[in-house]
A and B are shown apart, each in its own frame.
Chain A
């Protein structure tokens, strides 16, 4: 694959997707009444396609811009750990990349809500459910966008 300044094309496309997700999350959330975790989904998907250090760089940039209090909150720590863990384990997963991708997107979103705000979710599940479905939908969308431009030959 052609390289630009030592980086492969994927990194720059990932960077583009990441910043688009960041702007969506900051400026256009909630979207149609649904709060969507655009950046988390972008990072989960990028963790499947990018190198570990590239993922860590994007994650830290996400934490830097999205962190919302002087201390690192539980949500922020989980937000950092999830894509990093996916990036580490992706090589050991059986099955096709598309299947692993879709599975990890669903598990990533559910894991984030479970570990960060289970109490709030249980109290307000009808409303929260819509946000989760929309977040997974956004994840599928960017996953297939990335998957379709990969060269697997």
Chain B
């Protein structure tokens, strides 16, 4: 066997070792390529999330807050390891798992408050735990094509069904509903804490069959650049 083959075989063996025993090193390389040369993206995401949350708070003032169940009793902070690299699914891996009492279905939010003593996590709902490993877990995001969620839109709380995808859609909105660009969209699904914002309605129009209205869901943050999330208990 020539020198070239020996060199390639040695590199292949090293890579096999790295793939199975040091996968986190690969995630770090990806993280460096993804975020290495950028500015304070996390800070910008945090500001965007805070803006969305303020809009939800305004909606809350117009409603009877006392009748709404308590949203959250605590959270676990987690770092984002890596994102699903192929198309058709939108998931990412975080650094907490079974050993940190993480369970399938727990909501995941983009945080807006940095207070370590705060019991409740405020933020934007971005996904839920879909698979749990010992020290890591997969988060299915609202950009995943298999995601569906009951939501409400704007101050009047117009009900809708959010369908995930690279451009999430707000579907089956009553055709009499008055939806405007920028109306805040928040969770109404009993499996998640109420009144967590998801984004804003954009480009409302009649559905192709003219039976309902539909709209896009717009975001002021960049999900692919997130580094820290909260997993709600």
Contact assessment for B88 and A60 in the assembled complex, using a CB-CB cutoff below 8 Å? no
User: What residues on B are CB-neighbors of A124 within 8 Å?
Assistant: 88, 145, 165
Chain B interface residue count, Cβ-Cβ cutoff 8 angstroms: 42
With A6-B2, A37-B86, A124-B145 already in contact, the answer to whether A70 and B12 are too (CB < 8 A) is no
Q: Which residue of A lies closest to B167 (CB)?
A: A33
User: What residues on B are CB-neighbors of A75 within 8 Å?
Assistant: 86
A131 to chain B, nearest CB (A): 5
User: What residues on A are CB-neighbors of B89 within 8 Å?
Assistant: 117, 120
Contacting residues of chain A (1-19) with chain B, CB-CB under 8 angstroms: 6-7
Contact assessment for B88 and A117 in the assembled complex, using a CB-CB cutoff below 8 Å? yes
Contact assessment for B3 and A53 in the assembled complex, using a CB-CB cutoff below 8 Å? no
- Residue A123 CB within 8 A of the other chain: yes
With A35-B86, A53-B12, A123-B146 already in contact, the answer to whether A66 and B93 are too (CB < 8 A) is no
- Residue A148 CB within 8 A of the other chain: no
Contact assessment for B83 and A120 in the assembled complex, using a CB-CB cutoff below 8 Å? no
- Residue B61 CB within 8 A of the other chain: no
Contact assessment for A6 and B7 in the assembled complex, using a CB-CB cutoff below 8 Å? yes
Chain A interface residue count, Cβ-Cβ cutoff 8 angstroms: 45
1/0 contact trace for B1-27 toward A, CB 8 Å?
A: 011110111011001101100010111
Stretch at the interface among B28-36, B50-58, B110-118: B28-36
Per a CB cutoff under 8 Å, which of A26, A56, A69, A117 touches B30? A26
- Residue B136 CB within 8 A of the other chain: yes
Majority secondary structure, A binding face: helix
Inter-chain contact total with CB atoms closer than 8 Å? 110
With A6-B2, A65-B26, A127-B145 already in contact, the answer to whether A54 and B8 are too (CB < 8 A) is yes
User: What residues on A are CB-neighbors of B134 within 8 Å?
Assistant: 70
Q: Which residue of A lies closest to B9 (CB)?
A: A53
Per a CB cutoff under 8 Å, which of B2, B8, B88 touches A113? B88
Contact assessment for A68 and B84 in the assembled complex, using a CB-CB cutoff below 8 Å? yes
Contacting residues of chain B (47-86) with chain A, CB-CB under 8 angstroms: 82-86
User: What residues on A are CB-neighbors of B82 within 8 Å?
Assistant: 68-69
Contacting residues of chain A (31-77) with chain B, CB-CB under 8 angstroms: 33, 35-37, 39-40, 53-54, 56-57, 60-61, 63-72, 75
A54 to B2, CA, bound (A): 14
Per a CB cutoff under 8 Å, which of A30, A65, A69 touches B166? A30
- Residue B138 CB within 8 A of the other chain: yes
Contact assessment for B19 and A60 in the assembled complex, using a CB-CB cutoff below 8 Å? yes
Per a CB cutoff under 8 Å, which of A23, A26, A35, A123 touches B87? A35
Question: What 9 A-B pairs are tightest by C-beta distance, nearest first?
Answer: A35-B87, A60-B15, A6-B4, A66-B85, A124-B145, A53-B8, A64-B26, A120-B88, A117-B88
